[in-house]
Structure 1
Amino acid sequence: MEEQKIITSLQNPLIKKVLQLKEKSRERKKSGLFIIEGQRELELALKGGYTIKTLMVCQELRDDTEWFQKSSHPTIQISKPVYEKLAYRKTTEGILAIAKAKPHALKAITFQTKKPLVLVAEAPEKPGNIGALLRTADAANLDVVVIANANTDLYNPNIIRSSVGCVFTRQVGMGTTDEIITFLKENNIKICCAALTASDNYINTDYTDATAIVVGSEATGLSNSWLENSDQNLIIPMQGEIDSMNVSVSAAILIFEAKRQRGF
């Protein structure tokens, strides 16, 4: 990495741009750019084929510069106060990157197997829940994650943070509930919905063919469109006083039962 002037001002035009990308979904969507924070997340993004436009490095927080010296990406140095203004966390190795978003239309999805296992989440309320679902999807090596009627953009910094970079490791599609139902049917994927009514114990369902496990919001569950088009409703029996769990926990239970049946 060549010697260069360090950006120390929060009024610098590039720093203002990065702050907008960090804080405003509208700016991310308009520009097609977003911010990656942390070396692990950046390495996962690179492995996932994301295009990095600019690296921003705070050498005061780095133990070495070898990683950056090997990088072919344009690199800018920033001061510690600037980095701390831009970063969400204090333990992200002094690195930020401006990256180009990928398309997430359903038509962009490609299946690598004849019997894919897909997770569908309808209208997840919180970025943290989306991040946790993506971590589960990565742990189970799912083929695809699809988000219906998303309440936030996929590159919200809180999603990237809570997914610890797993947003970059899975194929992710986005669309409306009706679009996704049509997509699943066109690809002959069985629809299994987590629901409280007309449901069978989840362990009694066969997940060995092409299957989509569909989970809804913790507040309202799945919309009627899913229930009307479901091939099988699933229920996880509860033994306590409440009738629901965190959506990412429920999804993990269903996904790993499917993986068990498939012999992992």
Structure 2
Amino acid sequence: MKEITSTQNPYIKELVLLKDKSRARKKSGLFLIEGTREIDLALKGGYDLDTILFYAELFSEEQLHKLATAAIKRIEISKDVYQKLAHRDTTEGILAIAKPKLHALDSVILRTENPLILIAEAPEKPGNIGALLRTADAANVDLVIIANPKTDLYNPNIIRSSVGCVFTNQIATGTTTQIIQFLKDKQIPIYCAALQASVAYYTQDYTKPTALVVGTEATGLSQEWRDAATQNIIIPMQGEIDSMNVSVAAGILIFEAKRQRNFL
């Protein structure tokens, strides 16, 4: 088994770039996963792992054999190398290099005639994207679509904040125009969280095919989404502010749909 002990090793320098730079991830077609749970979810989600790196004092070879097949390359790394690559303060001693999936709209498979879809337009903060994916997993939504994405899905902060749910959800990306056409082609009603021309979210029927669309806290949804909506909906606010965190808003809408569908 190969062993790397120096942080100046060229391969390790490449992995640091994978961790830190979206451009490096896109160019190489690889990304970094940290942690047992996240790697396990990636494997269950059908992701191909290229290499596993482990620090033997924190992660034993016995654990490694249970986690990965022999077909995956394995490299033992030193404490210094592990700390150079690890993103989290709480460490488990295990990292993996994986190949991303394609997230094109035309590759989407809706496995039910009555899908529940979550759409987020132009989310910028990795933490918010991760929280949205975690909420979507908790509700077992059929599809998450990111419109006009501002960051790549394999940003370590998204993987971390989603606790690996970036691997458990079916995710697609596209422009707002492309996504609206996709929904219209499949005759899926669109419910947009917006302040303008809205009704209370709980007055609508989500028991049929439903797309719930949320925007950023700063700017909300674009006019294109508001114009395309079957109905704009609002979460009534009782305090001084007129908006809440996007992942919280999405959770309220999603679980109202799940309640109506009697899945709770």
Same-fold call, TM > 0.5? yes
SS of the aligned residue for 2:191 comes to strand
What is the distance in 1 between the residues matched to 2:167 and 2:3? 29
SS of the aligned residue for 1:160 comes to helix
What is the distance in 2 between the residues matched to 1:259 and 1:107? 26
Partner of 2:229: 230
Picking from 61, 68, 73, the partner of 2:64 is 68
Aligned-residue offset at 1:91: 2.2
Partner of 1:112: 111
Partner of 1:162: 161
Aligned-residue offset at 1:65: 2.6
Count of residue pairs the alignment pairs up: 260
Partner of 1:23: 20
SS of the aligned residue for 1:168 comes to coil
AA partner of residue 225 (structure 2): W
What is the distance in 1 between the residues matched to 2:149 and 2:240? 30
Aligned-residue offset at 1:14: 1.3
Aligned-residue offset at 1:188: 1.1
What is the distance in 2 between the residues matched to 1:180 and 1:13? 41
Whether contact under 8 Å (1:190, 1:211) holds in the other structure is yes
Aligned-residue offset at 1:98: 0.4
Partner of 2:214: 215
Task: Work out the percentage of aligned pairs sharing the same amino acid.
Answer: 66
CA gap of 1:90–1:65, structure 2 versus 1, over 3 A, is farther
Partner of 1:77: 76
Picking from 38, 42, 59, the partner of 2:56 is 59
AA partner of residue 175 (structure 1): G
Picking from 7, 12, 15, the partner of 1:10 is 7
What is the distance in 2 between the residues matched to 1:236 and 1:65? 51
Alpha-carbon displacement from aligned partner over 1:12-64 (angstroms, at most 9, x marks no partner) = 121011111101101111121100000000000000000000000001112x4
Partner of 1:182: 181
What is the distance in 1 between the residues matched to 2:128 and 2:219? 15
SS of the aligned residue for 1:166 comes to coil
SS of the aligned residue for 2:253 comes to helix
What is the distance in 1 between the residues matched to 2:2 and 2:183? 52
Partner of 1:96: 95
- Superposition TM-score, scaled by structure 2 size: 0.97
Whether contact under 8 Å (2:2, 2:74) holds in the other structure is no
